[in-house]
């Protein structure tokens, strides 16, 4: 019964809670019991808040019994990547540099989820400061629930793995170069990088001022819409937060896909020929056929500057990252993990001219993507070129050189969602990525929702 409760999608659990058929206290206990049984194998929680979570669950239950139901997140247990401040709770960014850092206030994301009635279970493992290794002086490597010898993905790996393993109902992560979508692909969950400025970053430890995004990771696209709805919108505490109006994401989810124009970035992800493994290509092609069956029209789209966007993104991301870390890097270099320290020191070689040139590439990329999105409604591609790799220490130079399916959407700020579209022969999830126009999360979530409704992939649970 505990496992059954832990795998309830948010939208189903919320209906049971609203009707009085499910107690928020019982649901929270089910998650806490499952965390206690399984997390010693998975290493996903950096901070667990059992007493606080149960206290919040009791308050939620009393409010609902007295007719003060707040909405679909009331009484739902969630967790956060260990970059999000929760008042009075340690926020480490998985680094010894912040070993003794305790938050003085809630991040806006945590505060808005709290206002919606969500219950905070704790903090989740990640890559150090969202750029380095997940194995640090403070914490050990998290493990993928589909196969414990495989990587959860970076850097929101704990957030994705906790959702797919049934250790929280939903989570929030951050995405600077693909850090929500890549682990969502590797762990088989729905991960959304909203439009830049759609979700406040106040109270979230930064990596890159102009590339960071906060977004939800869930089991279903419908759950993702619920999580986004709760936190989206302008925040005066975040100067990059957009005043653009927030639509009702749930109200459009069930609108048919007939006539939706889908652009496929096929030329980008099939060159060179051996870059994307055949199993991923086959799964994505089958998913595109399913979108056609659902009424979408499909055509190939080319973005010429994609060959340069990864380089430009790396220059911008790591230059801005170095700006944030330079003081601590000088004062306590020994407290940084070797991978992140190497990345930051390498980034010091970028010049002002490099940064300006990278911004010029960014401007061109925005023009080319918006031109493409005048003729199609969404863009699709694989999320990653392969399934989750074996756990190993990456080489810093590899992170700069490797091609990316995701970073161009951080560079341009366009919204993109990832969802499961199949499994490899080894039983590892494969991800499909759907991107759209600025502030049009509603359309990409609608496409993801209809695809999930038409396919069985999201029903499978990991053998943990």
Look at strands 119-124 and 45-48 and give their pairing: antiparallel
CATH classification of the domain holding 268: 3.90.1300.10
Domain membership flag for residue 143? yes
Strand partners, 390: 150
Domain membership flag for residue 210? yes
CA distance 442 to 145: 30
What's the mean per-residue pLDDT of the chain? 96
CA distance 183 to 54: 29
DSSP result, 18-72: HHTSS-HHHHHHHHHHHHHHHHHHH--EEEE-HHHHHHHHHHHHHHHHTT----T
The tens digit of pLDDT for each residue in 259-280 reads 999 999 999 999 988 899 999 9
CA distance 406 to 424: 20
Domain membership flag for residue 211? yes
Domain membership flag for residue 464? no
Domain membership flag for residue 337? yes
The tens digit of pLDDT for each residue in 180-222 reads 999 999 999 999 999 999 999 999 999 999 999 999 999 999 9
Q: Is 245 exposed, middle or buried (0-12, 13-18, 19+ CB in 10 A)?
A: exposed
How many domains, the chain?
A: 1
- The H or E element spanning position 128 is none
pTM for the model: 0.97
Given a cut of 70, whether residue 380 has pLDDT beyond it is: yes
Domain membership flag for residue 384? yes
Instruction: Give the rounded percent of residues in the chain with a pLDDT score beyond 90.
Output: 95
Q: What share of the chain is helix, strand, coil (3-state, %, to 5)?
A: 45, 15, 40
Given a cut of 90, whether residue 3 has pLDDT beyond it is: no
The tens digit of pLDDT for each residue in 442-452 reads 999 999 999 99
Per the annotation, the verdict on 208 as an active-site residue is: no
Look up the domain containing 193 and give its range. 2-459
Among residues 14, 81, 107, 123, the one annotated as catalytic is 81
Per the annotation, the verdict on 179 as an active-site residue is: yes
- Model confidence at 396, pLDDT cuts 50, 70, 90, reads low
Domain membership flag for residue 30? yes
The tens digit of pLDDT for each residue in 21-73 reads 999 999 999 999 999 999 999 999 999 999 999 999 999 999 999 999 999 99
Per-residue pLDDT, 75: 98
- Model confidence at 2, pLDDT cuts 50, 70, 90, reads low
Given a cut of 90, whether residue 4 has pLDDT beyond it is: no
Among residues 6, 23, 134, 155, the one annotated as catalytic is 155
Domain membership flag for residue 73? yes
- Model confidence at 402, pLDDT cuts 50, 70, 90, reads confident
- Model confidence at 1, pLDDT cuts 50, 70, 90, reads very low
- Model confidence at 376, pLDDT cuts 50, 70, 90, reads very high
Per the annotation, the verdict on 193 as an active-site residue is: no
């Amino acid at each position: 019964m505990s496992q059954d409760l832990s795998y309830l999608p948010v939208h189903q659990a919320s209906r049971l809670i609203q009707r009085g058929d499910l107690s928020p206290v019982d649901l929270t206990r089910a998650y806490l019991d499952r965390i206690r049984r399984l997390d010693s194998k998975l290493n996903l929680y950096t901070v667990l808040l059992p007493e606080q979570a149960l206290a919040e669950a009791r308050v939620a239950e009393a409010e609902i019994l007295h007719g003060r139901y707040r909405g679909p997140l009331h009484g739902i247990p969630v967790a956060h990547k260990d970059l999000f401040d929760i008042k009075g709770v340690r926020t480490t960014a998985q680094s010894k540099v912040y070993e003794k850092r305790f938050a003085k206030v809630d991040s806006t994301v945590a505060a808005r989820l709290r206002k919606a009635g969500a219950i905070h279970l704790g903090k989740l493992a990640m890559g150090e400061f969202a750029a380095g290794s997940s194995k640090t002086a403070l914490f050990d490597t998290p493990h993928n629930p589909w196969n414990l010898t495989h990587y959860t993905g970076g850097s929101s790996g704990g957030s994705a793995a906790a959702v797919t393993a049934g250790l929280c109902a939903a989570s929030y992560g951050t995405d600077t170069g693909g850090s929500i979508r890549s682990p969502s692909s590797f762990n088989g969950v729905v991960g959304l990088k909203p439009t830049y400025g759609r979700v406040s970053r106040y109270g979230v430890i930064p990596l890159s001022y102009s590339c960071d995004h906060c977004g939800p990771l869930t089991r279903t696209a419908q759950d993702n819409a619920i999580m986004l709805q709760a936190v989206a919108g302008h925040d005066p505490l975040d100067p990059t937060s957009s005043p653009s109006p927030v639509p009702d994401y749930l109200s459009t989810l069930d609108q048919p896909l007939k006539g939706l124009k889908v652009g496929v970035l096929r030329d980008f992800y099939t060159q060179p020929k051996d870059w994307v493994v055949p199993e991923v290509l086959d799964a994505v092609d089958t998913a595109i056929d399913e979108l056609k069956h659902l009424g979408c029209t499909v055509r190939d789209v080319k973005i010429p500057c994609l060959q340069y966007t990864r380089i430009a993104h790396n220059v911008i991301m790591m230059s801005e990252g170095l700006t944030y870390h330079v003081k601590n890097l000088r004062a306590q270099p020994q407290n940084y993990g070797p991978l992140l320290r190497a990345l930051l020191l390498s980034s010091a070689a970028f010049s002002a001219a490099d940064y300006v040139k990278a911004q010029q590439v960014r401007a061109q990329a925005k023009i080319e993507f918006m031109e493409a999105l005048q003729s199609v409604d969404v863009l699709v591609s694989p999320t990653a070129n392969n399934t989750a790799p074996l756990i190993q220490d990456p080489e810093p130079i590899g992170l700069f050189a490797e091609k990316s399916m995701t970073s161009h959407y951080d560079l341009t700020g366009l919204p993109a969602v990832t969802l499961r579209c199949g499994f490899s022969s080894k039983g590892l999830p494969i991800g499909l990525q759907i991107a759209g126009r600025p502030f049009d999360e509603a359309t990409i979530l609608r496409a993801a929702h209809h695809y999930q409704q038409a396919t069985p992939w999201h029903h499978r649970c990991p053998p943990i």
